[in-house]
Amino acid sequence: MTEKTPLHFKIMTLFPDMFPGPLGQSISGRALKNDLWRLSLINIRDYATDKHKTVDDTPFGGGAGMVLKPDVLSNVAEAQKPLGRFIYMSPRGKTLTQDLAKELVQEENITILCGRYEGVDQRFLDAYDIEEVSVGDYVLSGGEMAALTLMDACIRLIPDVMGNQETTDEESFENGLLEYPLYTRPAEWEAPDGKTYTVPDPLKSGNHAYINEWRHEEAIKITQERRPDLWENYKKINPDTQK
């Protein structure tokens, strides 16, 4: 049986020093050192051809901001082939979801373009059939933070990174619901305001069937309250749900 090649992220950015950032720490950092995933940083400015290393220009038609040039970006892309799954972090892209992260982690190569300024020339996106992905309905100063988020969502799904499959199997979105509440010792905790908080009795019962039932009910309750959109989807997938 052939061993799977580690997932390789190629990051096209004007600020390579932002990587691996937090992904160089803790579990993901150890996984990087152990070659469970790989990282290549490509400075877009290195591929500019004029003496000023120009990577952007004003937009046709007027308007604020600057636009990353298609010729420079193409120089980068051609030098980095194979590109694999080619993604541009963009607020107009499809939303990053757990299902998409599961799909991406099956790839061998993922190239991520981190935009800056006003954005990227559309002709480059069209020529390379680039997939646009968003991490939420808000605008960031650049694509680097969004790229780190996408990478983190994928890296933790790589076998042997987390060390315990149950950890990922029981988290929010894995079964269509938000995660149930978590508690640890002490069983009774007095908050600074003097009020005592206790761990729910089911979790102290030792009855695993009872515990699982309680956790499922709590996950349903939280999902109903906080994400009615997820709850509606869950009911469609699980038509026998009574609540």
Residues 204 and 215: their CA atoms lie apart, in Å, by 13
Helix (H, G, I), strand (E, B) or coil at 210: helix
Residues 183 and 200: their CA atoms lie apart, in Å, by 9
Task: Give the pLDDT of residue 1.
Answer: 46
**Mean pLDDT estimate for the chain:** 93
- Domain spans of the chain, in order of start: 7-155, 170-237
Query: What token pair was written down for 131?
Result: 């997939």
Task: Give the pLDDT of residue 165.
Answer: 54
Q: Is the pTM of this model over 0.95?
A: no
Pick one of 3.40.50.11540, 3.90.1170.50, 3.40.1280.10, 3.40.630.10 as the CATH number of 7-155. 3.40.1280.10
Per-residue pLDDT reduced to its tens digit, 206-235: 999 999 999 999 999 999 999 999 999 999
Concatenate the DSSP letters of all residues of 57-86 into one string.
EPPTT--SS-EE-HHHHHHHHHHT---BEE
Task: Give the pLDDT of residue 194.
Answer: 97
Q: Which fold has domain 170-237?
A: Trp Operon Repressor; Chain A (1.10.1270)
Query: What token pair was written down for 73?
Result: 């970006």
**All residues at 6 or more sequence positions from 18 whose CB lies less than 8 Å from its CB, including other chains:** 144, 145, 148
